[in-house]
Structures are given as C-alpha cells and as structure tokens.
Amino acid sequence: MLNELLLSSNIVVKKWIKPPKGVVKINFDAIVGDNRIGYGTIVRDDEGFVFEGGGGFIGKMMSVEEAKCFVFEGSIKLACQLKITGHVLFETDHVGLINKLRNLATDVTIIDARIKECKDAFNNFNSVDLIWTKRSCNTVVDLICTKICNEDKTWFFYMDYPVEFHNDVICDVT
C-alpha cells in the first residue's frame, strides 16, 4: 500500500505580486449579484504604495463580462486622471477579458467594441498590458467590491485608505 499525500505540499502565493521596478499596477474587480454590481480598483506602485483606490455600486443587472469591462474602462480613466503616463499593468482575475483584448479582430460584439476602445486608450501610456492574476492575489480590491456591494455606496480614497483595509494592504506587500 502506498502512502500518497492527499493534499498538495506546494506552497501557493496568496498575495499581491509586485510589478517590475518603475511600473504602476492597477488591480480591478467586480462582483455581480441580483440586479446589482459592486466594483473596485486599487492603484499601487512597484513597492505596494497605494496611490488611490475605491469603487462603487450600480443597481442594475449586468453579466460578469460586462461588469468586468465596465471596471476596466473605469480603471483606465482613473490612471489618466492620476496623470499616470509611464509603465502600467492592469490586473484582473477575469481571463475572458484578457482573451478578448488579445483577439479583438475575431469578434464584433458590443463588449468587444468597448474593449477595443480600452485598447485604443492604451496610447496614453508608455507601455501597458492587461494581465491575469489568481483571485487570491486580488484580495484588497475584492474586499472593496464586497463592502461596496453590501453597503450600496460609492467611495474613493487616496493614500489614506480605510483602516479596515490596512492589514490586508500591508499583508499583500510583505
């Protein structure tokens, strides 16, 4: 009889992953519920320093894909409002959005037209990419989405993020 491990002994990273030096990372997410979505964004530098973040609530029905696209559009607008023009990584846990961005010529839906506009907005930055992350590496922005969806409100913060997120922000970068 063999004594095989039932659980993997591999250690899984469950925190925010620092971008390369000089790159700003913008994590975004959306939670879709019954006739409502909560969305959130957080902007950090290569050391994990928070520039700005927050999110909002919309009381209408959307598909997950539409909600993620909406937040992606908002994340690009936020980067432009913050006058970020250098190297930027947008990060999501929705692989479908990334696949649509990479294969724009093959689809002609409304979502794809919106994603094409997002890609056109990439011209505002020196270099930019949309990358995938595990849901467990998007903890802070997921907490923002959940809080906002539960409380039906919209709010944004600058470097002075709410105390209730402090431990998660610190744990993400250490």
Q: What is the pLDDT of residue 173?
A: 75
Nearest Cα to Cα of residue 31 among 76, 3, 64, 61: 64
pLDDT, tens digit, 9 for 90 and up, residues 49-98: 999 999 998 999 999 999 999 999 999 999 999 999 999 999 999 988 88
Can you give the pTM of this predicted structure? 0.83
- Encode 62-94: b = buried (16+ Cβ within 10 Å), e = exposed: beebbbbbbbbbbbbebbeeeebeebbbbbbbb
Could you identify the residue written with the tokens 């839906």? Answer: 109
Per-residue confidence band for 1, with pLDDT thresholds at 50, 70 and 90: very low
Is the pLDDT assigned to residue 6 strictly greater than 60? no
Per-residue confidence band for 10, with pLDDT thresholds at 50, 70 and 90: low
**CA-to-CA separations, 5 to 8, 9, 10, in angstroms, rounded:** 7, 8, 11
Please give the structure tokens belonging to residue 112: 């794809």
Is the pLDDT assigned to residue 127 strictly greater than 60? yes
**CA-to-CA separations, 1 to 4, 9, in angstroms, rounded:** 9, 20
Per-residue confidence band for 142, with pLDDT thresholds at 50, 70 and 90: confident
- Report the CATH superfamily, name and number, of domain 23-173: Ribonuclease H-like superfamily/Ribonuclease H (3.30.420.10)
Of residues 126 and 133, more confidently modeled = 126
The ranges assigned to domains in the chain are: 23-173
Q: What is the pLDDT of residue 106?
A: 67
